[in-house]
Amino acid sequence: MKTPRSVVAAVAAAVAVLASSMSVVPAPLASGAEAVAVAPVDGAAGIGDPYWPLDGNGGIDVTSYRIVNRYAFDTGRLSGRTTIRLRALQDLSSFSLDFLLPVRSVAVDGRRAGFVKRGKGHELRITPSRVLPRGTAHRVVVRYAGRPAEHRYAGQRNWLADKREVVAMNEPHMAPWWFPANDHPSDKALVDVSVTVPRGKEVVANGRLVKRTVGRRLTRWRWRADEPMAPYLAFFAAGDFQVERGTRDGTPWLLAVSQQLPLPQRQASMRLMRKTPRIVGGLEQDLGDYPFSVSGGLTTALNPGFALENQTRPTYPAVGAYAEWLVVHELAHQWFGNHVAVQRWRDIWLNEGFATFMEWRWNERNGGRAAKAALRFAYDTNGRGSSLWSVEIGQPGPRDLFHFAVYERGAMTVQALRNRVGEQDFWRIVRTWLAEQGGRNGSSAQFEALAERVSGEDLQGFFEAWLRTASKPADTAHNGLR
């Protein structure tokens, strides 16, 4: 997922999680059963991820966001409304959304709703005028205005902007700075974004540009994604961009590079971005069809300190023309992290480990060092005291979610599995994972079970050594090292 600048420079809460794709209807009564009255409840203030207990919200399943915002570069003020279509998973007397900006009003199904938002807190508690029965669909409209840069959550100040450019990009949290959301990867939803900016400025977001409305002073840009996404993967960037478009193998692509960059950097960044369609095609050889209807990328002149795999359009800092590995990493996330999202944040190694492994695989396919040799080199050059072995990547904890070990040891785990089960079974595991979990979410436990099912091997000890042991795995064939 997030690729920190430190990686770029180097070469670069308990838990039944609700799947956003499920269609929920009231359960039928068994034959002869009598209905039992259940009092409406307040939906939980968190979805059940122990890393960030207030992330997401219980009792609701969001199906779509229609975001209509306006942004002022000079003041940093964002105002607008978001229409949320959701389904009640319980009989709800109230429910919450994750949002940081001051709220002006809330309506549920066209009726004014009560709401409580304490100070600059993260939780927006909404009380509709009527109970929302389990299994029913509803339309929620939230109106708001404020300055995102003034807000922080979970120790993060995520708003990235100056007087000329803004990019909404971060992980694991970003949505609450610019639209109210059920902010957890386990609730994917369709996203439709309109942003109004001063005339002459451009807006780029996920998916396709479906409309541009030009006025005397302002322009509204509307972008729509065809596939559901985790809320943190929704983004927009506004400013002055050099934009290129095209199509490769039937998939449209759009590339954008900030014109605030000095000309040599802008030219180098566009050369790097132009590699995107070819890299997508190369990844398809191993992973199957690209999972979305459009692709692309954007380079910002701001200083995020990382690249990020926003769905259909990853965002990058200016890193020059030769960081092909970084583009490979973020595009691999379109399969691992976006198409198959984490079920809980503890499963992050599935995203970062596979994306890093696909860097190794890309080198292997293009005449560079074999991934097997990359595994051996990483193992041999990191002694037992290395921090690579101190993090249990199957349960890294929120502080180490993006620790180097999650990436490197994650990739090592993937290649070690390849060594252990053999080439044919390995790629069958990968393709089956993407086919069975694609468009939804996946956990480490599910992946481990799939690997055993496909390979026919007992891999419990293998995964314990690589994922859940804070020490260097033994150099054995059982651990995929010989």
Fold of 345-467: Neutral Protease; domain 2 (1.10.390)
Domain ranges of the chain: 3-12+41-339, 345-467
pTM to 2 decimal places: 0.92
Instruction: Judge whether 343 and 186 are in contact, CB under 8 Å.
Output: yes
d(CA 141, CA 85): 9
Q: Is the Cα dihedral 185, 190, 194, 200 positive or negative? A: positive
> Tens of pLDDT along 387-443?
999 999 999 999 999 999 999 999 999 999 999 999 999 999 999 999 999 999 999
Contacts of 479 (CB under 8 A, 6+ apart): 416, 420, 462, 465, 466, 473
Contacts of 182 (CB under 8 A, 6+ apart): 47, 56, 57, 60, 61, 62, 86, 97, 98, 189, 231
Contact 414/357 with Cβ under 8 angstroms?
Answer: yes
C-alpha 453/C-alpha 436 separation (Å) is: 13
Per CATH, the number for 3-12+41-339 is: 2.60.40.1730
pLDDT tens digit sequence for 427-443:
999 999 999 999 999 99
Question: What is the per-residue pLDDT across 277-318, written as a single tens digit (0 to 9) for each?
Answer: 999 999 999 999 999 999 999 999 999 999 999 999 999 999
pLDDT at 18 over 50: no
Instruction: Classify 322 in phi/psi space as left (phi over 0), alpha (psi -120 to 50) or beta.
Output: alpha
The residue among 467, 478, 314, 453 whose CA lies nearest residue 394 is 467
Q: Which two tokens stand for residue 451?
A: 């690997």
Topology alike, domains 3-12+41-339 and 345-467: no
What integer pLDDT is reported at residue 132 of this predicted model? Answer: 98
Predicted confidence at residue 264, as pLDDT, reads 97
Q: What is the mean pLDDT of the chain?
A: 93
Map residue 99 onto helix, strand or coil. Answer: coil
Under DSSP, the state recorded for 194 is E
pLDDT tens-digit series, residues 206-233: 999 999 999 999 999 999 999 999 999 9
3-state SS class at 181: strand
Helix (H) or strand (E) holding 217: none
Amino acid at 253: W
Burial class of residue 29 (count of CB atoms within 10 Å of its CB; 0-12, 13-18, 19+):
exposed
Residues in the chain: 482
Sheet containing strand 77-88, edge to edge, reads 111-112, 103-108, 137-146, 77-88, 60-72, 190-198, 218-224, 208-214
